Amino acid sequence: MNIAIIGSGYVGLVTGVCLAHIGHRVICVDNDPQKVKKLKKGGIPIYEPGLDVIMRDCVRKKRLSFSGSIKDATQRSTVIFIAVGTPPKSTGDADLVYVENVVRQIAENMDSYRLIVEKSTVPAETGNKIRRTVELNLPRKFRKGNQALLDFDVASNPEFLKEGSAVHDFMNPNRLVFGVESKKAEKVLREIYKPLKAKVLVTNIASAEMIKHASNSFLAMKISFINAVSQICGRVGADVLNVAEGMGLDKRIGRAFLDPGVGYGGSCFPKDVDAFIRLSEKSGYDFRLLKEVRRVNEEQRQAFVHLVEDKLWNLKEKTIGVWGLAFKPNTDDMRNAASVEILQKLQQEGAKIKAYDPRAMANAGEILRGVALCASPYAAAEDCDCLLLLTEWDEFKNVDLEAVRDVMRQPVVFDGRNFLDGEKLKSLGFDYYGIGRGKA
Ligand code: UGA
């Protein structure tokens, strides 16, 4: 099938490359000429494990190409996925101006049936707005007043990929959701995803849009729940990891997304929780539960900073080493990373910061101010009064801890992800503080 993907960010690029990998002819479009130039040369603007290999393979097999032109892509494709950004406005609403722009350009260049698929996370009812925008912007000969004379469909096909394992998630989905208005649209989507042999749920468009909102918000709620539990564990001498394990053994609860830490970040959960709260408000429902999820997340970061202040005493003149800056491991993505807020707060208290991340240094350099970016975990620890682990990269498991202890001014570790072996660190003479692992 001939498919266009409009927007070559994380979601768009992974979707486009993977659809080409399972046999389709795909054009990935972006309005950033530099990005398109880089992609055409075989470069990848993001770090996502495994993506580069299959991307180059698909280009070689002539199943994948890149373009800056929505016109060109619309003319050459039957199915058009919209994967452009929906950044938050100051109100928390998703800003849909990019989506509208793209849909207008698609409509202006349509001359026969097209299936337009929402892939970006959008508020419920966006499907209707997309339909209306197409009807109003088709070429004159294909409309009578505001009525379309050309057959087309709109669908919602939310994505559930996780950064860092996006290629694997695409190839092994636990479900595919098709929000459609016609049998024809359902048939086309089934055809596209046939090679994946996944469970398919067919709904109307609004339900598909809600599934995405509700899923991300529910996962954020699980994280905030265990973070809240970690606060109590820290006070009563319980170990939150044992608690999470005990809870997770109940199949109705499940162990996934019960890892306490410095709060969720990234380009999805914070934005999607805000957008769902706004959507609820607009529909006349005050989603207080979700507001609390957001508040717990903010407090979790503050609590971590307070712990550091409590143990180090004054932060002025103190140097803090940081391991991990990305919002999670296996990505270079710094968007809404917990590290940004935590480091700013520590800097406001007068601390000097040295940091290392295996992949996110370039992006971190653009966001963080006054942070010394170091070439290795050892360099980041050197002459520091404490070390913070903020992202659980595997690399940190293999560091020589004795060497780290010997270069630090004070051997103190605050493990914001409960990732390091606390007992081992203590036996080596470190002061070790995890999240909710008992009385600190
Ligand atoms: C999330 C969802 O998991 C995907 O299903 C969804 O497709 C995606 O958003 C999206 O809407 O595009 P992602 O943001 O890539 O994926 O990353 P997650 O693995 O979900 O992690 C999000 C944040 O939660 C990270 O900061 C992570 O460190 C944190 N987290 C996750 C925890 O603090 N504890 C956990 O137990 C799990």
Within this chain, do residues 176 and 263 fall inside the same structural domain, yes or no?
A: no
Nearest residue by C-alpha to atom 12 in ligand 1: 268
Within this chain, do residues 402 and 288 fall inside the same structural domain, yes or no?
A: yes
Determine, yes or no, domain membership for 242: no
Residue 145 DSSP label: T
- Average pLDDT along the chain: 96
Ligand 1 pocket residue status of 73, Cβ below 6 Å: no
pLDDT over 70, % of the chain: 100
State which of 183, 203, 223 marks the end of a domain. Answer: 203
Per-residue pLDDT averaged across 191-203, rounded? 96
Within this chain, do residues 169 and 289 fall inside the same structural domain, yes or no?
A: no
Determine, yes or no, domain membership for 387: yes
State which of 139, 170, 203 marks the end of a domain. Answer: 203
- Taking the centre of ligand 1 as the mean of its atom positions, its distance from the CA of residue 77, in whole angstroms, is 32
Q: Which of 25-29, 103-107, 147-151, 227-231 has the lowest mean pLDDT?
A: 147-151
440 pLDDT above the threshold of 70: no
Contact predicate 260/226, CB 8 Å: yes
Ligand 1 pocket residue status of 409, Cβ below 6 Å: no
- Name the residue range of residue 308's domain: 256-433
What strand order describes the sheet that includes 2-6? 64-67, 25-29, 2-6, 79-82, 114-118, 152-156, 176-179, 200-203
Within this chain, do residues 39 and 142 fall inside the same structural domain, yes or no?
A: yes
Which tokens hold the place of 393?
């990269």
Within this chain, do residues 76 and 197 fall inside the same structural domain, yes or no?
A: yes
Within this chain, do residues 171 and 276 fall inside the same structural domain, yes or no?
A: no
Determine, yes or no, domain membership for 214: no
Cα(190)–Cα(193) distance, rounded to whole angstroms?
Answer: 5
Task: Say what the pLDDT of residue 131 is.
Answer: 95
Task: Say what the pLDDT of residue 264 is.
Answer: 98
Within this chain, do residues 276 and 420 fall inside the same structural domain, yes or no?
A: yes
- Taking the centre of ligand 1 as the mean of its atom positions, its distance from the CA of residue 269, in whole angstroms, is 7
Ligand 1 pocket residue status of 257, Cβ below 6 Å: yes
Ligand 1 pocket residue status of 333, Cβ below 6 Å: no
Cα(350)–Cα(346) distance, rounded to whole angstroms?
Answer: 7
- Say how many C-beta atoms besides its own lie within 10 A of residue 372's C-beta: 15
Catalytic residue, candidates 18, 58, 233, 268: 268
386 catalytic per annotation: no
Total structural domains in the chain?
2
Determine, yes or no, domain membership for 347: yes
Within this chain, do residues 195 and 338 fall inside the same structural domain, yes or no?
A: no
Burial class (CB within 10 angstroms; exposed 0-12, middle 13-18, buried 19+) of 70: buried
Within this chain, do residues 42 and 172 fall inside the same structural domain, yes or no?
A: yes
Within this chain, do residues 315 and 199 fall inside the same structural domain, yes or no?
A: no
Task: Say what the pLDDT of residue 284 is.
Answer: 97
- Say how many C-beta atoms besides its own lie within 10 A of residue 350's C-beta: 11
Backbone angles phi, psi at 229, to 5 degrees: -60, -40
Q: Which of 86-90, 352-356, 402-406 has the lowest mean pLDDT?
A: 86-90
Ligand 1 pocket residue status of 161, Cβ below 6 Å: yes
Residues 6+ apart with CB under 8 A from 183: none
CATH code of the domain containing 326 = 3.40.50.720
Determine, yes or no, domain membership for 220: no
Residue 63 DSSP label: -
pLDDT in tens, 265-299: 999 999 999 999 999 999 999 999 999 999 999 99
Determine, yes or no, domain membership for 248: no
Determine, yes or no, domain membership for 175: yes
Determine, yes or no, domain membership for 72: yes
Per-residue pLDDT averaged across 19-43, rounded? 97
Within this chain, do residues 320 and 382 fall inside the same structural domain, yes or no?
A: yes
Within this chain, do residues 188 and 324 fall inside the same structural domain, yes or no?
A: no
- Taking the centre of ligand 1 as the mean of its atom positions, its distance from the CA of residue 162, in whole angstroms, is 6
